[in-house]
Amino acid sequence: MPAATAGHTSVAAAGAHLGWPDVTSPDGLFPDGLRPVDVLTVVAVTDVTPSVRRVTLSGDAAVVAAAGPTVNLLVPRVGDPDPRWPRIQRDGRIVWPEGSHGIALRSYTARRQDPAGGEVDIDFVLHGDGPAAAWAAAARPGALLGIAGAASLAERPARWLLLAADETALPAVSRILAAAPPGTAGVALLEVAGPAEEQPLTAPPGVELRWLHRGTTPPGESTLVVDAVAALDRPAGDDVFAWVGAESAAVRAIRADLRGRWGLGRAQHHAIGYWRRGRAMSPAG
């Protein structure tokens, strides 16, 4: 193993002891207390829409079960046959190898996890630049992808649900809608480039799916979702939950609207920037 850097990156670790070898075992493989990251292998690549590529990865049942819903991916350089993976401390922190490794840490969402079948699907928006988008664009069966940890979507069931998202958050939206109790009411405001980018979603009958087409406006420059939330009246009662995932500036505006005009408390909303216009998401690459 390469020497470890002192700098650490903390990741949420839902799969608390996933992949931990028995460090007290006689083989003594991990005397420094670090564990290897979990590594999945690409088995299929399909285009969901013109700009969304689904990468199906295979791995052990336990690894697949813990690889989501939100997953911290370790993305190697395109074509790297033998990535220099970091390792993970017991507290979930990543310990990077010293020197150039070319591995980028990025957050994604497992669109589908099938532990019994040993498969997980991740839908990548092919937005152009960026290690993760480039890796997905070039992904072929046999390519490797590391997993450094996982976390929840932080959604909560409620009688009335607002979802506000762009295409990067459609995997999360699909999971939230699929898991919502059948009596849930609400609206999902979903920004994509155009009709060809819409995806079939299973939702409770009381949740309206409203697709918003930004057309030729570049992603991150449209105010469609912000404006659509601003045009909504606050539903009555307190059994309301709002989940927001999109470009950071849009999310900030929506969060302010929900906290201000709607008066939602912290337990009634989760609004997180999924990407930042003009900026990479992580310094780790």
Ligand X SMILES: Cc1cc2nc3c(=O)[nH]c(=O)nc-3n(C[C@H](O)[C@H](O)[C@H](O)COP(=O)(O)OP(=O)(O)OC[C@H]3O[C@@H](n4cnc5c(N)ncnc54)[C@H](O)[C@@H]3O)c2cc1C
Q: How far is the CB of 236 from ligand X (least distance, A)?
A: 30
277 binds ligand X (CB under 6 A): yes
CA pair distance 285, 280, nearest whole angstrom = 9
Options 38, 57, 101, 107; binder of ligand X; rule CB under 6 A:
107
Options 101, 106, 175, 214; binder of ligand X; rule CB under 6 A:
106
Q: Helix or strand or coil: residue 133?
A: helix
Q: How far is the CB of 137 from ligand X (least distance, A)?
A: 9
CB 149 within 8 A of CB 12: yes
Q: Helix or strand or coil: residue 243?
A: strand
What count of other Cβ atoms lies within 10 Å of the Cβ of residue 138?
A: 12
70 binds ligand X (CB under 6 A): yes
Options 26, 142, 237, 278; binder of ligand X; rule CB under 6 A:
278
Options 22, 129, 236, 267; binder of ligand X; rule CB under 6 A:
129
According to DSSP, the residues that pair with 211 across neighbouring strands are 190
Q: Helix or strand or coil: residue 50?
A: coil
139 binds ligand X (CB under 6 A): no
CA pair distance 4, 84, nearest whole angstrom = 11
Q: Which residues, numbered 157-216, are part of the site for ligand X (CB under 6 A)? A: 168, 171
Q: Under the rule (CB under 6 A), what is the footprint of ligand X?
A: 70, 104, 106-109, 123-125, 127, 129-133, 168, 171, 219-220, 272, 274-281
